[in-house]
Structure 1
């Protein structure tokens, strides 16, 4: 056993050295144009089209130019094309028809599935289930690899604390720990155990860095923050992904403290490679190096190429600036050829790590592609992921779960029968044939005796003629209303920032009219961010947050609605009382005038709104009431060498077993750098049998108390700490201990 364990590193090191020798020999033979070509990433015009490539003599102009560039060694990678049938054809251009035969790297935006689509990343983060995230990423990689893809532009690991930002939907929410853990799980899932296997994709955490902190939640906007905040909150998820093995990273669109990230040498070279020892390559986001001009940082395209390359961007996406300008930049002496060689080496070493020099056609088997794409196994996983991502915000009078018989149900809202929008944003390659609508899921659950009426009521952002009247009529004839409302994927995605994170007016009017009938209402909220819920929406008896759940959306929701599975999700983002609280997040600082329930004036709060969330981070109910006892600690003091055991007893007052996510938070009461009012340090899922009590404990270590001091090094200081074991970031009473 010991010998076997010791052999693997030597074999890996030997293979790495073999790859390096191979790559350096190639670089020595390359012209400067061929080197620039390896750093040039362009759209795949062949495998993008559903019908695939055209025969050679019928290429359109884009295909013809791309083919010529590949054969001339002017393109090193293509993105957002899939398909096993045509992979070999396209790869042949590089391997058999270019001078050096260097294989192409095929990349794609496989963010939450390929053909089988899983919940959007924010939704999946609501599962608080890391094993699930690794399994869905693995399934996505299997389908992507079978379609001839080598690299995915995921996971997105931007901490997102302003729900106005459209790209909240792509990440794991507002908390650092949750982002760290999901970054690790998804990276491992995408890359698998063996990068040379056809089912492994190079993970590309994005967007480096602090993109999620854009001013006013406005996409592409500037970010300005202290280095302390950057290193405490926004950089750790990237480091976690790199430590898990990610071999690429995508630079961001935003500028950071006045320097655009795609031209930021301190970030892309000093921190990334110097401090962290990152061995992979940096790819720009779509034309982000060209956008250095619009930022006012570069004078022109030549200057932008120089600045980006010298900052540490190794591969240029789409702009064509590298292939256009690198040869002349090297000839003029403005860019050292050693820097070009360094970038090429990083790209080629990644291709070698994928095994492309040994098998450039990996993943181009049509039979494998047919077998794994949309497989029963993947669809079952999508259904499991969907139901585990659902969060129940409220359930007055135990309205849920609904009985399967004896109830007339009205399904009302623009998302009741909808099949086109179940996937959510960044579902680039979705298969509509795999989509299950909410109506289909409910009908399948109810069976042949279903008493179900389906009325649209309104469009997503506009009223329908006669829509409200039809909805009121249907609600009046029903025993219970399922109100399927919220955002479309066009409202929650890249470039979809919102000033008001509310339900659109047309749907609010629909909700008010339905509520006026007096029938019990279950809101089924479709969304990609934390939202302001008000009026009849928040007044509904029950609310389920259903995000965008992917291919099996309807079945997953029905599983929870009718009690086959209890809701187990917890919020990864805060739902504020009002949009104007944005950015709102639980781990905020206290201020010198903290808001208290009894205070009326001169404290930190908006007029008429408490300084807290309507539904806080970590909140989520299930089909049994869970009561928490007082929290206890194993000792009133803790030293550097101690571990503190924190315990609580959970009591299930219901008739069903319950799955509870117990969350451990701390607060450092007095520190040389002010600390958040709470900070998540661990969580644990605990099953509590019906009518029973279960004691559960978690361990707090000295390392859990560290924070970045004024000199930006991890430190901890003696003093009093609060510690909670609680069901959310806004509940429970803490115990105390003193670090001595």
Structure 2
């Protein structure tokens, strides 16, 4: 059977290579017919008329430009009617080359899923894949060809607003999540429709200094290659259709003109797809102080390897002059145009420009029951149980007080980056409770606003809490407080919400606190005083139903922290896979170690942390070194009273070598479901190439002395074994 699978994979790969070559031949036949203006037009992407996700550049009469073949792709055009209308204009151009339509489908089109950072907390690649399948389907039946997702930026600073779009702080998990998302988006559907994915932002955008969006990045080559680039290499290996530039510079060169990055991408990684700039990021190289003017920016970007200019008109304004004067060769221009045309062939747009414009499919396949079910399941799997003093799960009693500004705030359920969604669809916590428990007396009081210092609602909230059998608090940040251009210098829960919570805890000990947000927040008083805490992020369309079913135990929470929660602003960045110093931190006053004298070094909740309503016991693992991998067999037993998931986490530490390595690195995870009383042995494998690292002289093999660690999270290590790896 193994040989048959290998043969089939070989046939599929050969077919893909043949199709690629065939599309390139067809693209070349069109390129020979194109004028210089028409070629440049294929590299010009502008925003549509419906919305904008950045500062708009004046492109002139867009409809006229489309009919002249001077626009190759558009973003922020969505829906069958709108995309068909624009495509009809493209079909009036001389060569009838169809348009590509792209959109930021970040966590759902109409059916909204949890924000990506919440999905990351599920550590469930199958659920993530299914979610992306739904997003892809709703997109393609609505005229969309291209999503600008997944964001693969590893991020260690929760002040950065865009952490909500990404996989969290760990490189290995970013690779695994990226694979699941890319394959979920891009696998063709039975009717031949398929969606292009986009690996963004290339590269190291998540390392913006101070967590300030669009800020510069200053990192070593080792950190770049070991932490930030691996998810993008995996994306290239998994055939992602496109990459997107990051806004930041690396080593003094903005990513939109950084030849080092694109030499890696095209030459070393063998990537065949296209690269799109981020919004106006090519001309912004002038603002960076790297390019003298727009002409130089266009030349630097196209020669580095950036295929499409998004919404800055730099290519459309400058490339013709650059080609005519010989500063940019026509061969370089043709190569970029070829990449765009090949994607249009692969999508089937030359066969039928309107194949993605089907009003009946759009009507039938948006927000379906099955799509909402998938969104509900993803939402359940994204909720982290942070604390539980034996209160959860609960049986809903006769009188319930629902308190907090996020309990019935429908728009907030979706979070940010929902450019095509309907804001009146999401189910709130209050709505779900009333629907599921119609006989229960439910009192709802906001108590306070999300931000601001108004405490006038406190007395009514406290009175309601006193008179109720159970209190459910819904607190956190507003949906617009995280996302692009939403960096926060202070990531404490805003306003007086935490003060309200502490007053409620005084009068009713049966109080469940739900915290919503797009990033890890700081809430030390709640962490100390709350009887039970669920971190629910922004969960999307089925938010309320998922929250209630976790509260009542219909679903046993299984999510884990994908990005460390700090205790103090001063700790940031705080992350588990830090490197040792010559004087490691010691929690003792008066010593000369790498510590603060006023706060500790440890996060409030470390990477990988999360509780369950059941308990799991680990047996003695068996670790062996095979020819090409380390094998770890782990006996595990569900010793509690409920079925549930346990996330097995394996970390490694390399003790010495050509370059220093972190104190621990996640190298394997397995999300295991066990029925109560069930025992099983789980085998995980760590290939030796997963231990390789980028050192002083480039990539180094993984020979050396290691400790293998099994943990419930990055801080709670329950087993260690020292091994030596030689190969």
Q: So what's the TM-score if we normalise by structure 1?
A: 0.93
Q: Aligned to 2:708, what secondary structure does the other structure show?
A: strand
Residue in structure 2 matching 1:587, options 548, 566, 577: 577
Q: How far apart are the structure 2 equivalents of 1:74 and 1:208?
A: 27
Is structure 2 residue 69 aligned with structure 1 residue 73? yes
SS at match of 1:207: strand
- Gap change, CA 1:644 and 1:271, over 3 Å in 2: closer
Does residue 502 of structure 1 match 2:492?
yes
d(CA) in 2 for partners of 1:290 and 1:338?
23
Distance change >3 Å, CA 424–CA 5, structure 1 → 2: closer
Give 2:225's match in structure 1, choosing from 228, 231, 245. Answer: 231
Matches within 5 A, 1:628-639: 628-629=618-619, 631-634=620-623, 638=625
C-alpha distance in structure 2 between counterparts of 1:404 and 1:526, whole Å: 21
1:633 touches 1:737 (CA, 8 Å); kept in 2? Answer: no
Partner of 1:356: 349
Q: 1:442 aligns with which of 402, 421, 433?
A: 433
Residue correspondence of structure 1 range 89-238 to structure 2 within 5 A: 89-95=85-91, 97-193=92-188, 197-198=192-193, 200-238=194-232
> Is the counterpart of residue 429 in structure 1 residue 420 in structure 2?
yes
What is the Cα deviation at residue 79 of structure 1?
0.6
Q: Distance in 1 between matches of 2:588 and 2:681?
A: 34
Alpha carbons 1:414, 1:456 under 8 Å: kept: yes
Distance 1:108 1:86 in 2: 13
Deviation at residue 186 of structure 1 after TM alignment? 0.5
Q: Which residue of 1 aligns with 2:392?
A: 400
* CA deviation after TM superposition for structure 1 residue 6, in Å: 5.8
Q: Aligned to 1:738, what secondary structure does the other structure show?
A: strand
Of the structure 1 ranges 162-171 and 536-545, higher mean CA displacement relative to structure 2 is found in: 536-545
Deviation at 1:64, TM superposition (A): 8.5
Query: Is the Cα–Cα contact under 8 Å of residues 633 and 644 in structure 1 kept in the other structure?
Result: no
CA contact (8 A) 2:502 2:529 kept: no
Q: Which segment drifts farther, 696-705 or 148-157?
A: 696-705
Q: Which moved more, 1:687-696 or 1:520-529?
A: 687-696
Which secondary structure state, in structure 2, belongs to the residue aligned with residue 30 of structure 1? Answer: coil
What is the CA–CA distance in structure 2 between the aligned matches of 1:549 and 1:86, rounded to whole Å? 29
1:196 and 1:227 map into 2 onto residues whose CA distance is: 45
Is 1:712 aligned to residue 698 of structure 2? yes
Would the alpha carbon gap of residues 63 and 645 (structure 1) be closer, same or farther in structure 2, given more than 3 Å must change? closer
1:48 to partner: Cα distance: 5.2
Is residue 531 of structure 2 the alignment partner of residue 527 of structure 1? no
Partner of 1:22 in structure 2?
A: 26
User: Residues 231-255 of structure 1, C-alpha deviation per residue, up to 9 Å, x if partnerless?
Assistant: 1110110111111111111001111
Question: What is the aligned length?
Answer: 717
Structure 2: any 5+ residue segments left out of the alignment?
none
Structure 1: distance between partners of 2:599 and 2:113: 36
Choose from 718, 723, 726 the match for 1:737: 723
* Cα RMSD, aligned residues only: 2.1
Deviation at 1:523, TM superposition (A): 1.4
Does the Cα contact within 8 Å between 1:77 and 1:107 map onto a contact in 2? yes
Larger mean CA deviation between 534-543 and 648-657 belongs to 648-657
Matched residues in 1 for 2:253 and 2:628: separation?
Answer: 43
Q: Is the 8 A contact 2:621 2:635 kept in 1?
A: no
Which residue is equivalent to 2:332? 339
* Residue aligned with 1:650, SS: strand
Q: Tell me, what secondary structure is at the counterpart of 1:613?
A: coil
Cα separation, 2, equivalents of 1:504 and 1:532: 10
- State whether residues 709 and 715 of structure 1, in contact with CA within 8 Å, keep that contact through their aligned partners in structure 2: no
Cα 1:121–1:329, aligned 2, differ >3 Å: closer, same or farther?
A: same
User: How far apart are residue 693 of structure 1 and its match?
Assistant: 4.8
Per-residue CA deviations over 1:450-498 (Å, capped at 9, x if unaligned) read 1211111111111446211221111111222211111112111111111
Q: Does 1:478 align with 2:478?
A: no
Counterpart Cα distance in 2 of 1:423 and 1:580: 30
Tell me the distance in 2 between the aligned counterparts of 1:310 and 1:600.
56
Per mean C-alpha deviation after superposition, the further-off stretch among 694-703 and 498-507 is 694-703
User: Contact between 2:282 and 2:297, CA under 8 Å: does it hold in 1?
Assistant: yes
Distance 1:76 1:460, change over 3 A: same
Report the 3-state secondary structure (helix = DSSP H, G, I; strand = E; otherwise coil) of the residue aligned with 1:698.
Answer: strand
Superposition deviation, residue 337 in structure 1: 1.6
SS state of the match for residue 228, structure 1?
helix
What's the counterpart of residue 35 of structure 1? 39
Structure 1's 247 and 399: CA in aligned 2 closer, same or farther, altered over 3 A?
A: same
For 2:77, what is the secondary structure of its paired residue? coil
Match of 2:479, SS?
Answer: coil
**1:83 — aligned with what?**
79
Preserved CA contact (<8 Å) 1:196 1:355: no
- 1:57 maps to none
CA distance in 1, matches of 2:533, 2:539: 16
Going from structure 1 to structure 2, the CA distance change for 1:472 and 1:86 (only over 3 Å counts) comes to same
TM-score (structure 2 length as normaliser): 0.95
Report the CA distance shift for 1:295/1:471 in structure 2 as closer, same or farther (over 3 A).
Answer: same
Helix, strand or coil at the partner of 1:410: strand
Do the aligned partners of residues 37 and 702 (structure 1) sit closer, same or farther apart at CA in structure 2, a change above 3 Å counting?
Answer: closer
Rounded Cα–Cα distance in structure 1 between residues aligned with 2:375 and 2:285: 40
Q: Distance in 1 between matches of 2:41 and 2:185?
A: 27
Q: Distance in 2 between matches of 1:150 and 1:245?
A: 16
Runs of 4+ in 1 over 6 A off after TM superposition: 1-5, 61-64
Greater Cα offset, 376-385 or 463-472 = 463-472
Using a 3 Å threshold, how does the CA distance of structure 1 residues 737 and 14 change in structure 2: closer, same or farther?
Answer: closer
